[in-house]
Structure 1
Amino acid sequence: MEKLRAPRNRTLQLTAAELSDYQQQLLHLSAEVTPTQILNRTIQQNLFEILDWLPSQFVDLLFIDPPYNLTKSFGETAFRKGSIADYQTWLEQWLPTLLKVLKPTASVYICGDWRSAAAIHLVAERYLHVRNCITWEREKGRGAKANWKNCAEQIWFCTATEHYTFNLDAVKLKRRVMAPYTDPVGNPKDWQRTTNGNYRLTHPSNLWTDLTVPFWSMPENTDHPTQKPEKLLAKIILASSHAGDLVFDPFAGVGTTAVVAKKTGRNYVSVEIDRTYCCLAEKRLALADQDKTIQGYSEGVFWERNSK
C-alpha cells in the first residue's frame, strides 16, 4: 500500500511510469567489463555475483556501507544479526576480492556501528592501512529505558598504500565564534568578523556533529531505512578525491554516493541489488543535473549545523 504523506512531505517517490523508465537505464553484468563500460552507471545486481567481473585498479575512492551486524530489511532483501566472529567471516568472504578495484593511491571508507566495530577494524587492518575512525552523530534514534540511546555510527578511513589524497582545505568546518579572542588593538585572532556574525574555519576532526539524517522535509529524503546524508558523502568525496576521479559504492542503496559524486564533479559506479532503490538513485541523479546544492555545504565550506 502507498504511504499517506503529509502535504509538506518532500520524500522522494517513484511513479509507476518512472519506475518503468528508470529501470531501463540500469546495467546488468554477465561477463568481465572495462571501466569505460560501467562509468557513471548504476548496476542492479548482487555484488557477490559480479565481484570477479569488475575491473582491477580503476577506483580512486571506495565507499563501503554494508549491512551492519543487526537484523534489518532493505527493500526486498534482509540481513540477520550474528556473532562478531560471524560478521568478521562474512566480511572476509568478499572484502579482499573487492579491494582489487583500488588504484595504489586509493582511499577506502567503511561504515559500521558498535555492533560491527571490532570485526571491521580487524579485517580492515589485515588488508589496508587504517588511518582513523570517524564517529558521526546520528541524532535520530529511540531512547531506551535500560541502556544508552544509540545515536552514533563509525566510519573507518583507510588507504591502499602510504600515498593517498587528503584535501584539507576542501573540508574545513565553519563555526560561529561565541567568545572571540582579539589582539591588543582589537583585530580578530584566527576568526573573521562579518556583518552576519563572527566565524572561524576549523580543521576537520574525526567527530562529526554537524550532520542531519535525511527526514521528511528534506528533498534528498527517501524511504530507505539507513540512508546517509549527502553532506556526509560530500566530506568524504571532497577530502579523498579530485575532480574527475572515480568513486565506487558497492552497496549503493538509493545512490547518495553517486549523487554527491556527480554534484562535485567526480565520476561514479554504483552497485545495488534492489530495483526500486536503483530507480530512486537514477531519479536523484537526474535531479542533480538541475540542482547541485548540498544541504550544509555552501560557499566552498561546510557549515556547523544551525550556524548560518
Structure 2
Amino acid sequence: MKQKSKRNKTIDFGLDEAQKYLKKAIYFTKDSAFKNMINKNIIGDTFEVLENVSNESIDLIIVDPPYNLRKNYHGNIFTEKDSKSYEEYTRTWIEMIKDKLKQNGSMYVCCDWKSSLIIGPILLEYFNVRNRITWQREKGRGSKNNWKNSMEDIWYVSKSDDFTFNLDKLKQRKRVLAPYKEDGKAKDWKEGEGVKYRDTHPSNFWDDISIPFWSMEENTGHPTQKPEKLIAKLILASSNEGDLILDPFAGSCTTSVTAKKLNRRYIGIEQNELYVAWGEKRLENAEKNPTIQGFEDGIFYERNYRP
C-alpha cells in the first residue's frame, strides 16, 4: 500500500478502522426516537428514517441528492435514470421532507445543470422559490464535444414568506483593483492586511469556493464532497445558533460538521457506513479545530486568499 505524504490529511480509512467511529453514530430502527437523533448521524435509508423525524421540527434543510449520473459511492451505485424516473425519485423525497420543515424554515437543494432542470420546476410546486445560486466548482472533466462542466446550482426555497435570512453574516471580502477616491479619501473601500478591500453583500454567483483537496483537514475519500465553506454560507444565511439542521443525504457529513462548528444542532442521514465513520472522524477533529477554510472573524475571503 502506497504511503501517504505527511501533508496529506485526507480521511479515507477502511471499515476496520471505521468501527470505533461508528459507535458515535446511530443505526436506524423503526423504534428510533426523534429526540435521540438530534446531534447525531443516522445510518439508514433516508426514506425510512424521515418517517421518524417530527413534522415542523426542522429550521433548515440542506439537500445534496444523487445527481442523475451513474456514480459508485463505495459500493452503493446510483444508476442514471430517464428524466421521468428521476422526476419521480425527486418528488418522492420532496414529498417526505416538506412537512418536516417549520413554517418559517428554508431549504437548499444542490444539483448540477442537468438535474437542475428537473428539480427546479418540482420545487415550485411545493415551496416559495427565492433564488438559484450558481457556484464555481473550480474542477471538472473536459469533454471533446461539450463545454467543461465546472458549475453547480443550489436552489434556495422557503416554506412561507416568514423566513430567516442573515445578510449581516454573509459579507465577502474582495480586493479592490482600481480604488476610487473622493476629495482625497477612500470611497467605499478600506486598506488593511497589505491590500485594499471592500466587504460586499453576497450575490447568487459564488466564485470563492475551493473544492476540498488532499492537504485540507476536511478532505475525505467521498467522490462528491461539498466544501465546508459552501455549507457555512447556507447555514449562516438561513439559521441561527441553536437551530436544528437536517441533511437527508449526508455523505461524509459536511453539513453535520459545519453545523457543529457554527453552534447549530444537526441530524445527518446516510446509508453508507464508511462515509458516516469519516464524518464522525471529522466531528472529532472539529472539537480541536473549529475553523472553516476561507471564513474568519465573520468574513468570507476570496479563493486562495489568506488574511
Give the drift of 1:140.
1.1
- Residue type of the partner of 1:224? H
- Which residues of 2 match residues 211-290 of structure 1 at below 5 A? 211-290=209-288
Q: Does the residue aligned with 2:269 lie in a helix, a strand or coil? A: strand
> Percent of counterpart pairs with the same letter?
43
Aligned to 1:129: 128
Q: Does the 8 Å CA contact 1:35/1:58 hold for their aligned counterparts?
A: no
Q: Does the residue aligned with 1:200 lie in a helix, a strand or coil? A: strand
Q: Does the 8 Å CA contact 1:71/1:78 hold for their aligned counterparts?
A: yes
- Which residues of 2 match residues 42-57 of structure 1 at below 5 A? 42-57=41-56
- Residue type of the partner of 1:41? K
Counterpart of 2:204 (choices 203, 206, 212) is: 206
Q: Does the residue aligned with 1:295 lie in a helix, a strand or coil? A: coil
Greater mean deviation of Cα atoms: 274-283 or 43-52: 43-52
Instruction: Please give the alpha-carbon distance, in whole angstroms, between the structure 1 residues aligned to 2:193 and 2:260.
Output: 33
Q: Does the 8 Å CA contact 1:32/1:55 hold for their aligned counterparts?
A: no
Instruction: Please give the alpha-carbon distance, in whole angstroms, between the structure 2 residues aligned to 1:108 and 1:269.
Output: 14
Aligned to 1:152: 151
Q: CA 1:127 to 1:3, structure 2 compared with 1: closer, same or farther past 3 Å?
A: farther
Q: CA 1:244 to 1:147, structure 2 compared with 1: closer, same or farther past 3 Å?
A: same
Instruction: Please give the alpha-carbon distance, in whole angstroms, between the structure 2 residues aligned to 1:195 and 1:282.
Output: 36
Aligned to 1:306: 304
Give the drift of 1:26.
1.9
Give the drift of 1:34.
4.8
Instruction: Please give the alpha-carbon distance, in whole angstroms, between the structure 1 residues aligned to 2:205 and 2:62.
Output: 18
Instruction: Please give the alpha-carbon distance, in whole angstroms, between the structure 1 residues aligned to 2:95 and 2:14.
Output: 39
Give the drift of 1:56.
1.1
Instruction: Please give the alpha-carbon distance, in whole angstroms, between the structure 1 residues aligned to 2:242 and 2:205.
Output: 28
Q: Does the residue aligned with 2:168 lie in a helix, a strand or coil? A: helix
Aligned to 1:98: 97
Give the drift of 1:33.
5.0
Q: Does the residue aligned with 2:237 lie in a helix, a strand or coil? A: helix
Instruction: Please give the alpha-carbon distance, in whole angstroms, between the structure 2 residues aligned to 1:13 and 1:67.
Output: 20
Q: CA 1:164 to 1:45, structure 2 compared with 1: closer, same or farther past 3 Å?
A: same
Q: What per-residue deviation string (whole Å, max 9, x for no partner) do you get for residues 105-148 of structure 1?
A: 11100010111011101111111111100000011112122211
Q: Which segments of structure 1 move beyond 6 Å, counting only runs of 4 or more?
A: none
Greater mean deviation of Cα atoms: 96-105 or 234-243: 96-105
Greater mean deviation of Cα atoms: 126-135 or 15-24: 15-24
- Residue type of the partner of 2:122? V
Q: Does the residue aligned with 1:289 lie in a helix, a strand or coil? A: helix
Instruction: Please give the alpha-carbon distance, in whole angstroms, between the structure 2 residues aligned to 1:4 and 1:67.
Output: 32
Q: Does the 8 Å CA contact 2:14/2:274 hold for their aligned counterparts?
A: no
RMSD between aligned residues: 1.5
Q: CA 1:88 to 1:138, structure 2 compared with 1: closer, same or farther past 3 Å?
A: same
Unaligned runs of 5+ in 2: none
Aligned to 2:36: 37
Instruction: Please give the alpha-carbon distance, in whole angstroms, between the structure 1 residues aligned to 2:223 and 2:2.
Output: 15
Instruction: Please give the alpha-carbon distance, in whole angstroms, between the structure 1 residues aligned to 2:15 and 2:68.
Output: 33
Give the drift of 1:57.
1.1
Greater mean deviation of Cα atoms: 5-14 or 69-78: 5-14
Q: Does residue 192 of the first structure (1) align with residue 184 of the second (2)?
A: no
Give the drift of 1:3.
5.9
Instruction: Please give the alpha-carbon distance, in whole angstroms, between the structure 2 residues aligned to 1:306 and 1:276.
Output: 30
Aligned to 2:108: 109
Give the drift of 1:231.
0.2
Relative to the length of structure 2, the TM-score reads 0.95
Counterpart of 2:295 (choices 291, 294, 297) is: 297
